[in-house]
């Protein structure tokens, strides 16, 4: 199956390999050729199949995708603990370092046994809190060289200051940021900062010489989420 070919559910079922570790469900979509890039995508539910299907039509070259689901979202993706930011919301309990260790030490090695050859490079991407986690990860590990933060939760308290005040373990080759143009239009004092923070963080990395882009999409946080993920990953694959 070549990149650019239309992909059916049957095609995906034939390609996909899966395993479980520490309660996480890992879906591996291997490249056809060896030694291709491997993109890791943390997902809220199980969006991997649809994102992979979209990517087969968007990407200009071959790739492997590894989608991780069944995450403890407000724990695994949060760099530190914060109380609920709105009524009915859940607290974030700061398990990102613990999850990142699992990702690097167990998930990555096992996933890469299922792809042909060795990765040309590794990327890490995610949506919402997983977009926050993707940026945080470069301050804690050096194995990811391209980062995608799609509608990333960069409103997270003190995260902008963390970015400006800490050294990265690995300086990425490329970083992709996106938001919906309505995401900051809210009375919530945290969420309303998301666009200012995202643009400031993007500018900070650009001034450091990292190839970055910020894409402003139409709509709010929950519009065309899979398409936004696929677009960001396709941009990273095309660099």
Q: What would the pLDDT profile of 50-66 be if each residue is shown by its tens digit?
A: 999 999 999 989 999 99
Q: How high is the pLDDT of residue 96?
A: 98
Phi, psi of 49 (to 5 degrees): -60, -45
Does residue 84 sit within a domain?
no
75 assigned to some structural domain: no
| pLDDT given at position 13 | 79
Mind listing the pLDDT tens digit for each residue in 195-228? 999 999 999 999 999 999 999 999 999 899 999 9
Q: 91 lies in a domain?
A: no
> Residue 236: which of 120, 94, 80 has the closest Cα?
120
CB atoms within 10 A of CB 90: 11
Whether residue 169 contacts residue 147, with contact meaning beta carbons closer than 8 Å, is answered with: no
Would you say residue 171 has pLDDT above 60?
Answer: yes
pTM exceeds 0.85: yes
Of 8 and 93, the one with more pLDDT:
93
For residues 29-51, give the mean pLDDT: 96
| Average pLDDT of the segment spanning 164-171 | 96
User: For 36-40, 119-123, 220-224, which range has the lowest pLDDT when averaged over its residues?
Assistant: 220-224
- pLDDT for 5 equals 60
> 64-84 pLDDT, tens per residue?
999 999 999 999 999 999 999
Q: Rounded distance, CA 150 to CA 41, Å?
A: 11
Question: How many folded domains does the chain comprise?
Answer: 1
Range of 205's domain?
A: 9-69+102-237
pLDDT score recorded for residue 10: 80
Q: What percent of the chain clears pLDDT 70, i.e. is strictly above it? A: 97
Two structure tokens written together for 50: 């649809």
User: Does some domain include residue 185?
Assistant: yes
Mean pLDDT rounded to a whole number for the chain? 95
The rounded distance, in Å, linking the Cα atoms of 89 and 186 is: 15
The answer to whether position 120 is within a domain reads: yes
pLDDT score recorded for residue 9:
78
pLDDT over 90 percentage in the chain: 91
> What pLDDT score was predicted for residue 4?
57
DSSP-derived letter for residue 29 is: E
CATH of the domain at 112: 3.40.50.1820
Q: Is residue 219 part of a domain?
A: yes
**E strands within the chain?**
17-21, 24-29, 38-42, 64-69, 81-82, 92-93, 122-127, 146-150, 174-180, 211-217
Q: Is residue 6 over pLDDT 80? A: no
Does residue 2 form part of some domain? no
């Amino acid at each position: 199956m070549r990149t650019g070919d239309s992909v059916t559910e049957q095609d995906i079922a034939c390609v996909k390999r899966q395993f479980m570790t520490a309660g996480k469900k890992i879906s591996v979509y291997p490249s056809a050729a060896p030694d291709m890039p491997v993109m890791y995508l943390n997902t809220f539910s199980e969006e991997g199949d649809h994102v992979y299907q979209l990517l087969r039509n968007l990407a200009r070259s071959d790739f492997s995708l590894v989608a991780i689901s069944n995450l403890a979202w407000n724990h695994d993706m949060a760099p530190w603990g914060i109380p609920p930011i709105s009524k009915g919301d859940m607290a974030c309990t700061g398990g990102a370092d613990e999850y990142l260790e699992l990702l690097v030490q167990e998930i990555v090695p096992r996933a890469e046994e299922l792809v042909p050859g060795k990765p040309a490079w590794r990327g890490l991407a995610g949506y919402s809190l997983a977009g926050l986690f993707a940026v945080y990860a470069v301050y804690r590990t050096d194995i990811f060289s391209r980062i995608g933060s799609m509608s990333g939760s960069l409103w997270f308290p003190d995260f902008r200051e963390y970015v400006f005040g800490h050294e990265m373990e690995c300086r990425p080759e490329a970083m992709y940021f996106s938001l919906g143009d309505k995401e900051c239009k809210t009375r919530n004092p945290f969420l309303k900062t998301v666009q200012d923070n995202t643009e400031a963080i993007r500018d900070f990395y650009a001034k450091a010489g990292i190839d970055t882009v910020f894409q402003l999409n139409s709509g709010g946080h929950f519009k065309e989420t899979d398409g936004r993920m696929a677009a960001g990953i396709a941009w990273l694959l095309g660099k």
